[in-house]
Structure 1
Amino acid sequence: MAGKLSRRTFLRWSSLAAGTLLVDPAQAMGMLKPLPTIDNPLAYYPNRDWEHIYRDQYKSDSSFTFVCVPNDTHNCRLRAYVRNGIVTRIEQAYDVHTYRDLDGNHMTAAWNPRGCLKGYTVHRRVYGPYRVKAPMVRAGWKAWV
């Protein structure tokens, strides 16, 4: 069984390493160096050119709300963010507490979060390669067979 480490060998090497640390901890910890003290980390950081890319990652041109109905019966109201005419992400609309029914009853904020993973990824189906790209015309009963 070459290359396998038995439990006994592992314990032997572990106890040897622990004994070395106990005998001379200064020598064992000598390779560690203290961190330099930095008063202002933002001024110390040399290159911050990448930050505009990070901030613009979720930037959107516009947004709209819609009701996600086809996935289930919850009718979740979601907000879609559009960039260059394409929906880039979908989040929940955080205004559930402002909803009112026809009788004037308010919703509770405890309904947050709304939406499911299928609803949050519906834009992948809209722009995906297997989407319906043209209107479908139903053929006769036996014409499609």
Structure 2
Amino acid sequence: MKKTVYLATLVLSLGLFGSFLGGSVAFADKQEPYGDITHTSDSEGYIHFDPEGNIVESNLGTNTSKKTRPAINHESGRWVYFSDLYDWGRKKKGYSSHYSFKYNRHGAKARVGNVIRIANAGFKQWAVATAYGKSSDTFSCWYNPTGWY
């Protein structure tokens, strides 16, 4: 009986410690890019970030004194993008996703370091591109609301 109580206490303690540690690591790993994006037209868009998640180049209007919105609503759809650190902060995931309710062909592209992923989709579907690399890599993302990549 005592062994069961000790084992249950150990498992519960490790579970609580693991959830606390895992939660704090996940929170610390979240990279929040900087720069306010304002864009409404149906032209193609891209954003390039430095390794820390700051906007270094974009063809969309930016104001780097504010936090970026990880989603842009434009004339024909929505573009969602972000980067995350994972595996205890050793790796980076870059995500670019585009949805169109107007065009039959549209696409999204994500790059982390030298790894590029492309996704294309049709009318009222999400094009989801996800690239993986090292935590020190840069992240870039693109969307094309009127054509495929």
In the superposition, the TM-score normalised over structure 1's length comes to: 0.28
Q: Kindly indicate which of the two structures has a greater share of residues assigned to strand.
A: 2
Between Structure 1 and Structure 2, the one with more helix by share is 1
TM-score (norm 2): 0.27
Higher relative contact order (CA 8 A, sep 6+): 2
Larger Rg: 1
